[in-house]
Structure 1
Amino acid sequence: MIENYYLILGLMLVVYLIFSWVPMKHALHMFQQNRYENGRYIAWLKKTIKSFSGKSFLPVVLLILIVLSSFVIDRGIHQVVTVAIVSIWGCYSIFNELKVEYIKPLVYTDRVKRQIVVMTCLNIIIYIIIFNFTTYWDTLGLLYSYLGVWLMILVMNWITQPIENAVKKKYLNDAKSILENQTNLIKIGITGSYGKTSSKTILQEILSEKFYSLMTPASFNTPMGITRTIREYLKPIHEVFICEMGADHVGDIQELCDFVHPKIGLVTSIGPQHLNTFGSLENIIKEKMKLIENLPADGCGIINMDNEYIRNYSIKNNCRLVSYAIHDENVDYYATNITYTPKGSTFDVVTKEGTYTFETKLLGEHNIANICAAIAISRELNVEWKELQSAVKKVKYVEHRLELKKINGYTFVDNAFNSNPVGSAMSLEVMKMMPNKRFVITPGMIDLGEKQDELNKEFGKKMKDRVDVVILVGVQQTKPIVLGLEESGFDSNHIHICKTVREAFQLVYTLATPEDTILLENDLPDAFNN
Structure 2
Amino acid sequence: MLYFLICVNVILLGLFSCIFVKTYQLSGYNIKKFINCCACFRLAFGDKNKLVFTKRIIRFYIVLLLICAGLFFLPMKFLTSPFLVAFDCCVVFVLTPIWIVLSHYIVLPIEVAIKKIYIIKAKNKLAKKNVIKIAITGSFGKTSTKNILKHILEKEYKVCATPKNYNTEMGTTLTILKNLEDHDVFISEMGARHRRDIEKLTKIVRPDYGVITAIGDCHIESFKSIQNIEDTKFELAENISPSGVMFFGGDEGCKKLFKKYAGNKIVVCQENAFAYAENIVASKQGCEFTLVINGEKAQVKTKLLGRFNVENIVLASAVAYKIGVSLKDIQSAISSLISPAHRLEVIERQGCTIIDDSYNSNEIGFQEALNVLNMFEGRKIVITPGIVELGKKQSDANFKLGGKIADVCDFLIIMNAENKNDLLSGAIAHNFKRENIFFASTRAEQMDLVKMLTCQGAVILFENDLPDNYK
TM-score (norm 2): 0.94
Deviations 1:130-181 (A, max 9, x none): 4456663323422431x31122211111011111112111111111111110
Query: Aligned partner of 1:136: which letter?
Result: L
> Do structure 1's residue 300 and structure 2's residue 245 form an aligned pair?
yes
- Which residue in the other structure is 2:38 paired with? 45
Aligned residue number for residue 176 of structure 1:
123
Listed as ranges, the matches of 1:332-371 within 5 Å are: 332-371=274-313
Q: Equivalent residues in 2 for 1:417-436 (5 A)?
A: 417-436=359-378
Identify which of 321, 325, 329 aligns with 2:265. Answer: 321
1:380-529 equivalent positions in 2, closer than 5 A? 380-407=322-349, 410-529=352-471
Cα–Cα, structure 1 residues 434 and 300, in superposed 2: closer, same or farther, change >3 Å? Answer: same
Indicate how the Cα distance of structure 1 residues 481 and 153 shifts in structure 2: closer, same or farther if over 3 A, else same.
same
Aligned residues of 1:335 and 1:348 also touching (Cα < 8 A): yes
Aligned to 2:191: 246
Pick closer, same or farther for the CA change 1:315–1:125 going to 2, 3 Å: farther
Q: What amino acid is the match of 1:142?
A: C
In structure 1, distance between residues paired with 2:469 and 2:394: 18
Aligned to 1:359, the other structure's residue is in SS state strand
Is the aligned partner of 1:112 residue 2:60? Answer: no
Equivalent residue number for residue 20 of structure 2? 27
Measured against aligned partners, the alpha-carbon deviations of 1:486-521 in whole angstroms (never above 9, x if no partner) come to: 222211121110111232123212311352211111
- What is the SS of the residue equivalent to 2:40? helix
Q: 1:317–1:297: structure 2 CA closer, same or farther, 3 Å change rule? A: farther
Q: Deviations over 1:75-106 (max 9, x none)?
A: xxxxxxxxxxxxxxxxxxxxxx9xx7x22222
Q: What amino acid is the match of 1:450?
A: K
Cα pair distance change 1:43/1:309, threshold 3 Å: farther
Identical pairs, percent: 32
Measure the CA separation in 1 of the matches of 2:428 and 2:436: 11
Please name the residue that 2:150 is paired with.
204
1:203-229 C-alpha deviation (Å, 9 max, x unpaired): 111111111011000111111111110
Select the residue among 210, 218, 226 that pairs with 1:265.
Answer: 210
Structure with greater contact order relative to length (CA < 8 Å, sep ≥ 6): 2
What code does the residue aligned with 2:316 have?
Answer: A
Helix, strand or coil at the partner of 1:238: coil
1:158 and 2:100 are equivalent in the alignment: no
Q: Deviations over 1:414-447 (max 9, x none)?
A: 1111211111111111111111111111111122
Per the TM alignment, residue 449 of structure 1 is displaced from its structure 2 partner at its CA by: 1.9
The structure whose Rg is larger is 1
Paired residue secondary structure (1:404):
strand
Partners in 2 of 1:409 and 1:436 — Cα distance? 11
**Alpha-carbon distance change, 337 to 104 in structure 1, aligned in 2, over 3 angstroms:** farther
Query: Counterpart in 2 of 1:228?
Result: 174
Q: Distance in 1 between matches of 2:58 and 2:462?
A: 33
Whether 1:124 aligns to 2:69 is yes
Contact 2:351-2:457 within 8 A present in 1 as well: no
Report the more deviating stretch, 257-266 or 400-409.
400-409
Q: Residues of 2 paired with 1:412 and 1:448: CA distance?
A: 27
The residue that corresponds to 2:159 in the other structure is 213
Code of the residue aligned with 2:263 in structure 1: it is: C
Measure, in 2, the Cα distance between the counterparts of 1:21 and 1:522. Answer: 32
Alpha-carbon offset, residue 316 of structure 1? 4.8
Query: Counterpart amino acid of 2:302?
Result: T
**What's the offset of the Cα at 1:407?**
4.8
Q: CA separation in 1, counterparts of 2:356 and 2:440?
A: 19
Partner Cα distance (1:46, 1:347) in 2: 51
In the alignment, which residue of structure 1 is the partner of 2:29? 36
The SS at the match of 1:302 is: strand
Code of the aligned partner of 2:26: Q
1:139 maps onto 2:83 in alignment? no
Please report how far the alpha carbon of residue 186 of structure 1 lies from its aligned counterpart in structure 2 after TM superposition: 0.5
1:23–1:150 contact (8 Å) kept in structure 2: no
1:48 counterpart SS class: coil
Deviation of 1:404 (Å): 1.2
Q: Whole-Å Cα distance in 1 between the matches of residues 78 and 459 of structure 2? A: 62
Instruction: Structure 2: state its 5+ residue gaps.
Output: none
The answer for the alignment partner of 1:287 in structure 2 is 232
Q: Tell whether the 8 Å contact from 1:30 to 1:41 is kept in structure 2 after alignment.
A: yes
TM-aligned CA distance change 1:465 to 1:279, over 3 Å: closer
The alignment partner of 1:255 has SS state of: helix
Cα deviation for residue 299 of structure 1 reads 1.1
Deviation at residue 283 of structure 1 after TM alignment: 0.8
* Conserved 8 A contact 2:306-2:369: yes
TM-score, length basis structure 1: 0.84
User: Structure 1: 5+ residue runs without aligned partners?
Assistant: 1-6, 57-96
In structure 2, distance between residues paired with 1:314 and 1:355 = 24
Residues 1:475 and 1:346: Cα distance change in structure 2 (over 3 Å): same
**Do the aligned residues in 1 keep the contact of 2:148 with 2:313 (CA within 8 Å)?**
yes
Deviation (angstroms), 1:241 = 0.4
Give SS of 2:147's match: helix
Rate the CA distance shift 1:511–1:330 in 2: closer, same or farther, 3 A.
same
Aligned twin of 1:13:
6
SS at match of 1:417: coil
Query: Aligned partners of 1:461, 1:130: CA distance in 2, in Å?
Result: 59
